[in-house]
């Protein structure tokens, strides 16, 4: 449930801080699966943002990580209507 997804999110953050991007990415994928199963768009967004930011700070080339650029459907629609 939500607690498990949040736990993986926190573990992702800890791995990012420790300089372990592979472990962080593994935890991020588990957190994403949990938040998606709950249809928790805020959780999905938080994982993408925080992992992308941490990997970028660590010097990881994100051009080969299109999943980090993913925007959930409703956010994509609302952005399009504001343009």
SS3 38: coil
Tell me the pLDDT band of 73, cut-offs 50, 70 and 90: very low
* pLDDT, position 26: 92
Tell me the pLDDT band of 64, cut-offs 50, 70 and 90: low
Q: What is the pLDDT of residues 13-53, one digit of tens each?
A: 999 889 888 899 899 999 999 999 999 999 999 999 898 88
Phi and psi dihedrals of 19, rounded to 5? 80, 35
Percent of the chain exceeding pLDDT 70 equals 76
């Amino acid at each position: 449930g939500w607690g498990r997804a949040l736990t993986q999110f926190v573990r992702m953050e800890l791995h990012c801080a420790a300089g372990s991007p592979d472990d962080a990415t593994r935890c991020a994928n588990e957190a994403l699966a949990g938040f998606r199963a709950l249809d928790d768009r805020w959780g999905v967004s938080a994982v993408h943002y925080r992992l992308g930011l941490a990997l970028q700070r660590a010097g990881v080339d994100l051009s080969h990580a299109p999943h980090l650029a993913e925007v959930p459907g409703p956010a994509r629609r609302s952005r399009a209507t504001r343009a």
